[in-house]
């Protein structure tokens, strides 16, 4: 049976500030998706949050980009915005950049990751959700999962994976894409993935049969809106086991809290900290950036789960290290490389401040 998983997310209001989610928004979203399930539009759903982002995890038979599913997510976020406004939550409706739905939720503000596949005999799926960062945050872990044999033993050992994977990479500035083959074009892939503020992974396919393996969300709010309207706080769907990387191989890269863009005012580098659901509450300097992982077994489209995958002492060291890195970076205060380079700051409120001082500059005599 062909199943579609759609993960659609938006920040429609924070509690308190940008640190977490008010339970009333989760309740409202659940109510809407429950009604859609009762009508038969959804097979199943799960609603959760990472920080101030509301994540709708939905299974259905409509395929990728299905208008009705996008509309359901859009209407749900709109109704949650109303709840957020009533409660005077912070930044109510922040990611809803348009007043009207136009057939797809893409480009309107919310983030979208979707994939369709024939459900296997057993289908473990991992959904990653991050807060206070941007889509490029997945570049390093995805490269390690699908391209690095030091991370993924299966690339060497499992004959179904030994042929490698294809990476579709998006240039978010120019709106162009390229598909490169790993391992043959490994060095070419890294030319792009090493620059995560501009190049992000759109999809990863298994080379032997073209099966979809991973899909992240790629929306960049600042480029949609032309100004800083909150970070993009991306999501990611990864299939695991039996010819895909094992669940443990998929989680392994997150034991290294690599540096990502985001954190306070979307203007700083910080470590990506893997946390259990209950700790998806970025508070210190509005961060540090966080990631949670929800594990599901699909059961004819039904979501058995979630398991809280980072709720495991084996990630304690990563969290400790992330806190050490956070201490170290914070000591830089407003200096680069803690603060992002000037090009990235163009989408923030910094240029407004700079503009005020323009008249004070004189030619060098």
- In the complex, which residue's CB is closest to ligand F6R? 286
Q: Which two tokens stand for residue 161?
A: 């994976």
Determine the distance from the C-alpha atom of residue 200 to the mean position of all C-alpha atoms in its chain, rounded to a whole number: 11
Q: Which of 143, 150, 234, 246 is nearest to 193 (CA)?
A: 143
53 binds, among Mg ion, ligand F6R, none (CB under 5 to 8 A by kind): Mg ion
Which lies closer to ligand F6R via its Cβ, residue 18 or residue 220?
18
With CB under 6 A as the contact rule, the residue among 22, 166, 239, 265 that binds ligand F6R is 265
Could you tell me the smallest distance in angstroms from the CB atom of residue 264 to ligand F6R?
5
Is 231 an annotated catalytic residue?
yes
Quick one: DSSP state of residue 176?
Answer: E
Q: Is 39 an active-site residue?
A: no
Work out how close the CB of 223 gets to ligand F6R at its nearest, in angstroms, rounded to a whole number: 15
290: its two tokens = 């966080």
Q: Which of ligand F6R, Mg ion, none is residue 116 near (CB under 5 to 8 Å by kind)? A: none
Q: Which does 266 bind (CB under 5 to 8 A by kind): Mg ion, ligand F6R, none?
A: ligand F6R
Half-sphere exposure of 346 (CA within 13 A, CB side): 6
Rule CB under 6 A: say whether 266 interacts with ligand F6R: yes
Q: Is 148 known to be catalytic?
A: no
Q: Which whole-number Å values give the CA distances from 258 to 106, 133, 136, in the listed order?
A: 28, 12, 12
Taking the CB of residue 288, how many other CB atoms lie within 10 A of it? 30
Identify which of residues 116 and 131 has a Cβ nearer to Mg ion in the complex. Answer: 131
66 binds, among Mg ion, ligand F6R, none (CB under 5 to 8 A by kind): none
Indicate whether 233 belongs to the interface with Mg ion (CB under 5 A): yes
Cβ-based nearer residue to ligand F6R, 110 or 305: 110
Burial class, 118, CB count within 10 angstroms (exposed 0-12 / middle 13-18 / buried 19+): exposed
User: Hunting for tokens 């960062």 — which residue is that?
Assistant: 133
How many Cα atoms occupy the beta-carbon half-sphere of 225 within 13 Å? 21
Neighbours of 201 (CB within 10 A): 26
Write the binding mask 291 to 330 for Mg ion: x where contact by CB under 5 A, - elsewhere.
----------------------------------------
Measured from the CB of residue 33, what is the shortest distance to ligand F6R in angstroms? Answer: 25
Indicate the SS3 state at residue 165: strand
Which residues of this protein are in contact with Mg ion, per CB under 5 A?
11, 14, 18, 51-53, 91, 131, 233
């Amino acid at each position: 049976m062909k199943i579609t998983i759609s993960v659609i997310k938006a920040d429609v209001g924070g509690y308190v500030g940008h640190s977490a989610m008010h339970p009333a928004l989760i309740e409202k979203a659940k109510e809407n998706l429950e009604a859609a399930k009762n009508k038969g539009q959804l097979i199943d759903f799960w609603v959760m949050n990472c920080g101030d982002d509301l994540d709708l995890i939905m299974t259905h038979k409509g395929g990728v980009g299905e208008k009705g599913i996008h509309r359901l997510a859009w209407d749900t976020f709109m109704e949650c915005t109303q709840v957020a406004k009533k409660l005077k939550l912070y930044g109510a409706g922040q990611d809803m950049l348009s007043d009207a739905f136009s057939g797809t939720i893409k480009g309107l503000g919310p983030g979208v990751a979707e994939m369709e596949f024939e459900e296997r005999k057993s289908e473990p799926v991992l959904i990653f959700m991050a807060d206070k960062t941007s889509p490029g945050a997945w570049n390093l872990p995805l490269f390690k999962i699908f391209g690095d044999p030091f991370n993924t033993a299966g690339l060497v050992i499992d004959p179904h994976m030994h042929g490698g994977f294809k990476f579709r990479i998006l240039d978010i500035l120019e709106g162009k894409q390229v598909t490169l083959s790993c391992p043959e074009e490994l060095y070419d892939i890294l030319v792009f993935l090493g620059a995560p503020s501009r190049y992000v992974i759109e999809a990863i396919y298994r080379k032997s049969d073209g099966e979809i393996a991973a899909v992240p969300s790629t929306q960049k709010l600042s480029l949609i809106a032309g100004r800083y309207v909150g970070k993009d706080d991306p999501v990611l769907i990864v299939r695991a086991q039996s010819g895909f990387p094992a669940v443990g191989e998929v989680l392994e890269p997150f034991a290294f809290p690599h540096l990502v863009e985001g954190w306070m005012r979307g203007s700083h580098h910080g470590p990506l900290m893997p946390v259990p659901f209950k700790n998806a509450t970025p508070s210190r300097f509005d961060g540090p950036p966080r990631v949670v992982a929800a594990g599901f077994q699909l059961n004819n489209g039904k979501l058995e789960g979630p398991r809280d995958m980072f709720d495991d002492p084996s990630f304690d060291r990563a969290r400790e290290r992330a806190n050490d890195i956070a201490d170290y970076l914070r000591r830089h205060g407003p200096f680069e490389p803690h603060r992002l380079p000037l090009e990235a700051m163009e989408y923030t409120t910094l240029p407004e401040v700079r503009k005020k001082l323009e008249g004070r500059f004189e030619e060098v005599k």
